[in-house]
Structure 1
Amino acid sequence: MPDLHWYPGHMTKAVRQMKEDIKLIDIVIELVDARIPISSRNPDIDSLAAGKSRVIILNKADMADDRETENWVKHFTDEGMIAVKLNSRSGNGMKQVKDAIAKAAEAKMARDRARGILNRPVRAIVGGIPNVGKSTFINSFAGRAVTKTGNKPGVTKGKQWIKLNKQVELLDTPGILWPKFEDRKTAEHLAFIGSIKDEVIEKMELVLNLITELEENYCGLVASYYGFDNCEKTENKIDFAVKTLEEVAKKRALLKKGGETDTDKASKLILDDFKNGRLGKITLENVGE
């Protein structure tokens, strides 16, 4: 894979804007994908959010390995954040999220009371890379009755504050990626979940590496899901992944004229099934790796 410098111009503007917005914020809420909790974090947020109360939400927990998600909750808690898991589509875990935000707001509210400031809403910002479910989370949190509170004194005209409840107002931010991916694995994991476009990494290479990772972490899962006997193991992991891909194409009758397996269609199928959680509850990153 070539060195990936992938940073659209609007991302530069978004980061610059977030640096200004963060000055107005009491709590930084960060969404990550529970299947890849490290790859789906933007390292810029740690520096941008220095000194702020932090809540980290492991979203799409319904698609992730439950045991591994619990390990990640403990890991982030040990790092001084308030960590919770969530399925923002169903709302499962939303009460815990609201409790976490209330806990994160306690110190700010206590300081306000000590200064005689009553009923001032705590201001929060939701950060996260593209495709981790920020919009779904905001709508679910607000009960799909999102109220935009308009401009605030001292805030640049045009900013929209969303009233989540009596205590919390939210300033939304666009999804932000960082200028250069540190390693190949991070870029691949982001492509697996759809946070970067398929064309950034060649699709065949991507799906072969996904099959390899799935086999290492959940042996036999791909064969079981698509309904064929597991391929004969080979020392070469890529050879094994190629055979697996061909078996998926055969099983799903993805064939070209003349009966040749259509591995392009099979690649798209597997990537789509993983991205949408159809292959089962899978986590590709473990604490301590």
Structure 2
Amino acid sequence: MGITQNYKLNLIQWYPGHIAKAEKNLKEQLKRVDVILEVRDARIPLSTHHPQMKEWVGNKARVLVLNRVDMILPQVRSLWTEYFQAQGEVPYFTNAQQGQGITAIAKAAQAAGVELNQRRKERGMLPRPVRAVVIGFPNVGKSALINRLLGRRVVESAARPGVTRQLRWVRISDQLELLDAPGVIPSRLDNQAAAVKLAICDDIGEASYDNQLIAGAFVDILNELQEINPHALPGNPLLSRYDLDSIIHTGEAYLHLLAEHRYKGDVERTARQLITDFRKGLLGTIPLELPPAHV
């Protein structure tokens, strides 16, 4: 989708020392890992793909996890399944908050390690638990996923992205050990269209961005989706919630109209409300990306 390319965002490259340090630490730990669980946000599977992932995975096994499946419609899930399968990948969809899809992830990670223990056996070595690591952007639901895999709360989970700082191993079962890694964001977010979506979904956390620009971009993305593939959306979400249709307006114009309509002309408050309503799921199940073939 090209429309967000025009937004000149005041995006601070949020890259504090602890993330730089964690990334260095992660590279060290990866030497001891057999399987990588890459967690992405099901609303924006392309924008939550870390550009260094290929380098980190190398020749290790990788399990692709698309979390927050509850925030997209089943038909959108089907489109992504087809898209990834055409690329030779099997996407695993989860709702880590509710525990949906977790068993399949554990099985996939263990299956990837069967080969490892087969090789160990051939060399006369004893089998050992498969070592997996969970990697993804801040806030995509990694901690919730690990807690679900463990069946108990051990990993601190916080709304503030980047709170998981220490790398630690947690044993899931006799067959599986997990390394909990901090959320890693690229040192630079060169792709502004992706950066906008990350900001809307709260997946880059404390970056400084302009709420009004982000909210306007969100409305533009919705309008474009409504024209291209209305079946990907639950009806007309903005009209349903605010009694004001966005389709004939630009995002910026809609924001000002909505401010007059509902919030006494307070555009900043309107922008924050719009973004919050989306994040809380109050506008319904809305993806911000569709597979390229369906755009």
Contact 1:83-1:100 at 8 Å conserved across structures: no
Q: Which amino acid aligns with 1:133?
A: G
Q: 2:255 aligns with which of 245, 249, 264?
A: 245
1:273 corresponding residue in structure 2 = 277
Q: What is the identity, as a one-letter code, of the residue corresponding to 1:164?
A: I
Rounded Cα–Cα distance in structure 2 between residues aligned with 1:3 and 1:160: 31
Shift of 1:47: 0.5
Shift of 1:103: 2.5
Q: Does structure 2 retain, via aligned residues, the 8 Å contact 1:33–1:132? A: yes
Provide the residue aligned with 2:163 in structure 1: none
> Is the Cα contact below 8 Å between 2:44 and 2:197 reproduced in 1?
yes
Hey, what does 1:154 align to over in structure 2?
none
Instruction: Tell me if the contact between 1:119 and 1:167 (Cα under 8 Å) persists in the aligned partners.
Output: no
Q: Distance in 2 between matches of 1:49 and 1:275?
A: 30
For 1:207 and 1:144, the matched residues in 2 are separated by 36
- Corresponding residue for residue 153 of structure 1: none
State the shift of 1:104 in Å: 1.9
Task: Name the TM-score, length of structure 2 as normaliser.
Answer: 0.82
Q: Which moved more, 1:132-141 or 1:96-105?
A: 96-105
Paired residue for 1:22? 30
Q: Please report the RMSD computed on the Cα atoms of aligned residues, expressed in angstroms.
A: 2.4
Identity in percent: 31
- Does residue 28 of structure 2 align to residue 51 of structure 1? no
Residue 122 (structure 1) shift: 0.5
Please name the residue that 2:245 is paired with: 230
Report Cα offsets for 1:7-29 as digits up to 9, x if no partner. Answer: 22222111111111110000001
* Structure 2 Cα separation of the partners of residues 198 and 211 of structure 1: 22
**Rg: which structure is higher?**
1
Give structure 1 stretches of 5+ with no counterpart: 148-157, 256-260
Which runs of structure 2 are paired with 1:153-172 in the superposition (5 Å)? Answer: 160-172=168-180
Q: Relative CO higher for 1 or 2, CA cutoff 8 Å, sep ≥ 6?
A: 2
Give the Cα–Cα distance (whole angstroms) in 2 for the partners of residues 131 and 159 of structure 1: 16
Q: In structure 2, what is the Cα distance between the partners aligned to 1:128 and 1:94?
A: 16
Distance 2:203 2:222 in 1: 19
Helix, strand or coil at the partner of 1:144: coil
Shift of 1:195: 1.9
Counterpart selection for 2:216 from 208, 216, 236? 208
Separation of aligned partners in 1, 2:144 and 2:30: 22
Instruction: Identify the residue that residue 263 of structure 2 maps to in structure 1.
Output: 254
Task: Map 1:1-289 to 2 at 5 A.
Answer: 1=8, 5-144=13-152, 146=154, 160-197=168-205, 200-218=208-226, 221-231=236-246, 233-234=248-249, 237=250, 241-249=251-259, 253-255=262-264, 261-288=265-292
Which residue identity does 2:93 align to in structure 1? K
CA distance in 1, matches of 2:93, 2:133: 18
Secondary structure of residue in 2 paired with 1:120: coil
- Take 2:247 and 2:236, find their aligned partners in 1: how far apart are those partners? 14
Which residue identity does 2:71 align to in structure 1? M
Per-residue deviation, 1:4: 5.4
SS at match of 2:113: helix
| CA pair 106-82 structure 1, distance change in 2 beyond 3 A | farther
Residues 177-236 of structure 1 show CA distances to partners (whole Å, capped at 9, x for unaligned) of 0111122111101101112246622111110010110111136724333241425725xx
Residues 71 and 245 of structure 1, relative CA distance in 2, 3 Å threshold: same
Question: Structure 2 regions of 5+ residues with no counterpart?
Answer: 1-7, 156-165, 228-234
**Cα separation, partners in 2 of 1:178 and 1:58, compared to 1, 3 Å:** same
Letter in 1 for 2:210: E
Q: 1:106-148: CA deviations, max 9, x gaps?
A: 221222232233341010111011000111111011111659x
SS at match of 1:200: coil
8 A contact 2:216–2:252 mirrored in 1:
yes
CA 1:206–1:123 in 2, change beyond 3 Å: closer, same or farther? same
Structure 1 residues 75 and 84: alpha-carbon distance in aligned structure 2, compared to 1, 3 A threshold: same
Q: Distance in 2 between matches of 1:264 and 1:17?
A: 40
Amino acid of the residue matched to residue 216 of structure 2?
L
Pick which of 109-118 and 131-140 moved more.
109-118
Q: Using a 3 Å threshold, how does the CA distance of structure 1 residues 102 and 73 change in structure 2: closer, same or farther?
A: farther
Scaled by the length of structure 1, the TM-score of the pair is 0.84
